[in-house]
Amino acid sequence: MPRIQVLSDTLVNQIAAGEVVERPANALKELLENSIDAGAQSLNIELMAGGTKLIKVIDDGIGIEKDDLALALHRHATSKIKDFDDLQRVGTLGFRGEGLASIASVSRLVLTSRFDGGAHAWRVEADHGRLSDAEPAALALGTSIEVHDLYYQLPARRKFLKSDSTEFAHCAEMVNRLALANPDKQFTLSHNGRASLRLMRGDVHKRCAAVLGDEFVQSAVAIDERAGPLRLWGLAGSPTLGKSSRDAQYFFVNGRFVRDKVIQHALREAYRDVLHHDRHSAYCLFLELEPEGVDVNVHPTKIEVRFRESGAIYRFLLTSLTRALSATKAGAVPAGVD
Ligand code: ADP
Ligand code: MG
């Protein structure tokens, strides 16, 4: 047996990258979440070759100070939490401080940022973990991050990437999720130099119409139910809408897209009486609860959560949804009709 040795930072980051950035869409998620956490109002996304050649996100958020640029790419370095108490009630999308470090270890990453009030921007480049010195750069405001050639130097990983069009579809779906949860922000997306999506600021109904279609919004039931610290709101696809597909199922917990067994079970039960077996409901629903009531630190991608009181959550969801859906059966007015 060889002797035990401590792995290099780059290798540690590359191991983490296997979990955090499975494919371009996951890298894009990390970048967009950072922009949202930085208070951006406008997020511009440029992709080349499904994100495998380039993922670029430009935001108008608070920016990063020159002296923090290298830290932003450092593993376990974050401005979002400081201690265990903060971890118990995370209010930002990120907090693990490993997104950028992971991406930068498996790509060539260029980070340009102009901190709020700074005279000009600064730029650093990380080539598979090797970091350059900061140089002055031009940027109106906010932050621009370019991820070039993701997994280019890791053929074993690259092999798992699908065609450009499939990777692009995953990226576009990731944008849809973040856009639905942030209707007050503008999103633009281009692929290979061609505009693909432009979402202007608006409310959830407008955003749902733009992403899920007018037909969904017009026939969906508006829900807004509260019980103590719990609130469920959004649009539940009408059982009468035949074309619903599994793809159009969006559930957010405190603004974060999640997939969760408790939630899925409640939704299935609520829809069971009103849907035929072969149909799938479409929905865009938001559950809000106190941050202490949900643990988001279950998996590096944070798509899974754990509720402290999962029984209470299940009952609340089932009661709220059943009430809303049975109201449609009785001929209530759908959300899109004034
Ligand atoms: P985390 O999001 O978990 O903190 P990241 O590796 O994704 O970890 O980012 C590290 C840090 O870099 C963040 O905590 C934040 O301070 C800074 N940062 C990253 N992206 C941006 C951005 N677009 N605008 C402003 N700050 C950013
Ligand atoms: Mg992050």
> How does pLDDT run across 220-264, given as a tens digit for each residue?
999 999 999 999 999 998 766 555 455 689 999 999 999 999 999
pLDDT of residue 337: 45
What are the CA-CA distances from residue 207 to residues 87, 200, 202, 302 (Å)? Answer: 31, 8, 7, 23
What pLDDT score was predicted for residue 335? 53
Q: Which CATH number fits domain 213-329: 3.10.129.10, 3.30.230.10, 3.30.1540.10, 3.40.50.2300?
A: 3.30.230.10
pTM of the model: 0.93
**Pairing verdict, β 283-288 and 249-253:** parallel
How many angstroms does the Cα of residue 98 sit away from the middle of ligand 1?
A: 9
Q: Is 142 left (phi over 0), alpha (psi -120 to 50) or beta?
A: left
Output the residue whose Cα is nearest ligand 1's atom 14: 78
Cα–Cα–Cα angle for 102, 106, 110, rounded to 5 degrees: 85
Q: Is the pLDDT confidence value at 42 over 50? A: yes
Where are the CATH 3.30.565.10 domain residues in the chain? 9-199
Higher pLDDT, 88 or 44: 44
More confident residue, 215 or 171: 171
3-state secondary structure 132-194: CCCEEECCCCEEEEEEECCCCCCHHHHCCCCCHHHHHHHHHHHHHHHHHHCCCCEEEEEECCE
Rounded mean pLDDT of the chain? Answer: 91
The CATH fold of domain 9-199? Heat Shock Protein 90 (3.30.565)
Mean pLDDT of the 37-56 span? 98
Q: What is the pLDDT of residues 90-134, one digit of tens each?
A: 899 999 999 999 999 999 999 999 998 889 999 999 999 899 999
Contact 94, 81 (CB under 8 A): no
Q: Tokens 């406008």 appear where?
A: 42
pLDDT, tens digit (0-9, with 9 covering 90-100), for 148-174: 999 988 888 888 899 999 999 999 999
Look at 20-34, 162-176, 251-265, 298-312 and tell me which has the smallest mean pLDDT.
298-312
**Least confident span in 58-67, 113-122, 123-132, 275-284:** 275-284
Atom of ligand 1 nearest to the CA of 57: 23
From atom 8 of ligand 1, which residue's Cα is the shortest distance away? 97
Residue from 37, 62, 109 whose mutation best tests the ligand 1 pocket (most atoms within 8 A of CB): 37
The mean-pLDDT minimum among 70-84, 201-215, 236-250, 271-285 falls in: 236-250
Q: Which pLDDT value is given to residue 338?
A: 43
AA letter at 260:
D
Identify the sign of the CA torsion 115, 119, 121, 122.
negative
Residue whose pair of structure tokens reads 């579809």 in the numeric block: 169
CA dihedral sign, ordered 226, 174, 203, 144: positive
Count the Cβ atoms, other than its own, within 10 Å of residue 66: 18
Q: Are 242 and 211 in contact (CB under 8 A)?
A: no
Indicate the SS3 state at residue 334. Answer: coil
Task: Report which protein residue has its CA nearest ligand 1's atom 1.
Answer: 97
The closest-lying atom of ligand 1 relative to the alpha carbon of residue 100 is 6
Average pLDDT score over residue span 5-11: 92
Q: Please choose, from the candidates 123, 125, 127, 78, the residue with its C-alpha nearest in 3D space to the C-alpha of residue 106.
A: 127
Whether the predicted pLDDT of 75 surpasses 50 = yes
Q: CATH 3.30.230.10: which residues of the chain? A: 213-329
With pLDDT > 90 as the criterion, what percentage of the chain qualifies?
75
Identify the residues whose C-beta falls under 6 Å from ligand 1: 30, 34-35, 38, 59, 61-64, 72, 78-80, 94-101, 143
| Residues, beta carbon < 5 Å, ion ligand 2 | 34, 94, 99
Residue 198 DSSP SS3 = strand
